[in-house]
Amino acid sequence: MIGLGTIINVVTVLVGGALGLLLGARLPERIRETIMHGLGLLTLVIGIQLTFDTENILIVLGSLLLGGIAGELLRIEDRIDRLGHWLEHRTSGGGELSVSAPPQDVARPGASQFSHAFLTASLLFCVGPMTILGSIQDGLTGDYTLLAVKATLDGFAALAFASTMGPGVLFSVLTVLVYQGALTLGAGWASALLTDPMIAEMTATGGVLMLALGMGLLQIKQIRAGNLLPAIVVAPIIVAVVDLI
């Protein structure tokens, strides 16, 4: 089973996101802009807090460099954007649209915002030790307490983000379902493979990605955070190599 904790998390994000959409439609543009800036600042704070989990900043650096190169070669950001276009088109009643179509062929007003909301919320809900430890705990013992706490926090975050960023936030439940569900199903394997230092470096690397998202929300600098996603996978590999050496 995927795990009750993950199901609760999905439900809270959907409920919070739906309430956010209802609330956002009633907010004046100035208020939504101020909320967006507040969310950007909060995302920066979360990123800084997570980054401090590192025990060796060079591991984070190496993860970002190698992961960034892999992400650029795989063009992950473009693929996420295409997925966002496709999801938006289907949910708006637009009919069929190929996910593989080039961005310029499907670009419409608001589409990039949809993709950005999807990516931002997905990272926010899946980066951090509570996601990894809670999913493993749920899978091994059936204790979903940690994930239930995380689900509550995610619900309120979804409300805030959806009120300003739109329906793309709701579709982050797909990422939560797949990522947390996979960790729960493979809890025994994950607990044996992921050591505390690996989780710490994965968390710290994810924190840097959160900083990139925060800068985008504040319109300081648009960074292709999606292309840095492989860095989270690279981090535990570097930790393992360092331990062997």
Specify the pLDDT at position 104: 41
Which ranges of 52-128 would DSSP assign to H, the alpha helix? 57-74, 76-91, 103-106, 111-126
- 199 near 186, Cβ under 8 Å? no
pLDDT tens digits, 58-95: 999 999 999 999 999 999 988 888 887 787 777 765 54
Q: How many Å apart are CA 68 and CA 102, to the nearest integer?
A: 21
Number of domains the chain contains: 1
Q: How many helices (H) and strands (E) does the chain have?
A: 12, 0
pLDDT, tens digit, 9 for 90 and up, residues 134-151: 999 899 888 999 999 999
Would you state the pLDDT for residue 107? 37
Asked if 242 and 59 touch (Cβ cutoff 8 Å), the reply is yes
pLDDT less than 70: residues of the chain = 1, 92-112
The token pair that represents 111 in the structure block: 């589409």
Find the domain containing 35 and state its range: 4-244
